[in-house]
Amino acid sequence: MEIHKTAIVHSKAQIEEGVKVGPYCVIGEHVRIRKGAILEAHIFLNGWTDIGENCHIYPFATLGTEPQDIKYQGEESKLIIGQGTIIRESVTLNRGSQGQRVTQVGTDCMLMAYSHVAHDCKLGNEVILANGVAMAGHVIIDDFAVIGGLSCIHQFTRIGEYAFVGGASAVSKDVPPYGMAVGNRAKLFGINLIGLQRRGFSTESINKIKKAYRQLLASDLNVSQAVKKIQDSSEGGSAEIDHLIDFIKKSSRGICV
């Protein structure tokens, strides 16, 4: 491991082999940094924070601080970051609060400069947050979703797998898997076609998803009626459509149609 002489590292912090800690970093007592991680400079890590293998953290990031939640009373809570995740300049991630007590970021994510992940949020694998994304507490973002810059996400909102949220959006309801949403308040405008193609979805699967979204957006049916029609159609029964239907049925906030 390489620890710069100006870094302040608590004697009980766990730092594994191959870790590089740059100038003026501050690492607290309960922090664990797994092998191969790189901390550039001026990074503050505190609380029960677990940094995954081969993560790369850039200057002025602040990770593992107390949640911005007035109900929090100093309980032990965690921030867990998966391996290979990149955290750019001035990103802030808070630990969990009461109840779940865990904020979690998956593997191979990219959190761009000035983005904020609040208490008890859950980010899946390969999620991208562009510059300045602001998340309230208890937000869930599923695998492979992309959130455009300067977007704000309301507490307890969920964004589904392979979804895309356009820049400067205000997301107050759930964004279904494979969808593309934008605006204030964010509304669905179709499927994330480019994203699905890049992720290797077959033409057949994409066409099924298109037809399902057409029922949601281009018919005079309400959401419940549209879901019933999708289930009864030829698209029903495929893994992607089953997942879409399950997401909509479980949505507590409703979807942003």
One of 84, 96, 132, 137 is an active-site residue; which one? 137
Residue 119 bears catalytic tag: yes
- Spell 47-68 as b/e; 16+ CB within 10 A means b: bbbbbbbbbbbbbbbbbbbebe
User: Binning pLDDT at 50, 70 and 90, where does residue 236 land?
Assistant: low
User: Binning pLDDT at 50, 70 and 90, where does residue 245 land?
Assistant: very high
One of 120, 142, 154, 179 is an active-site residue; which one? 120
What pLDDT sits at residue 99?
Answer: 78
Residue 166 bears catalytic tag: no
What pLDDT sits at residue 233?
Answer: 84
Residue 232 bears catalytic tag: no
One of 30, 42, 116, 119 is an active-site residue; which one? 119
User: Binning pLDDT at 50, 70 and 90, where does residue 235 land?
Assistant: low
What are the boundaries of each domain within the chain? 2-196, 202-250
Strand ranges, E, within 12-127: 14-15, 20-21, 26-27, 32-33, 38-39, 44-45, 48-51, 56-57, 62-65, 78-81, 86-87, 92-94, 102-105, 110-111, 116-117, 122-123
Query: At 159, which helix (H) or strand (E)?
Result: strand 158-159
What pLDDT sits at residue 100?
Answer: 75
Give the chain's largest Cα–Cα span: 66
Domain 2-196, what architecture? 3 Solenoid (2.160)
Q: What is the pLDDT of residues 92-122, one digit of tens each?
A: 999 999 877 999 999 999 999 999 999 999 9
Give the range among 14-28, 169-183, 194-208, 226-240 with minimum mean pLDDT.
226-240
Q: In terms of pTM, does the model score above 0.95? A: yes
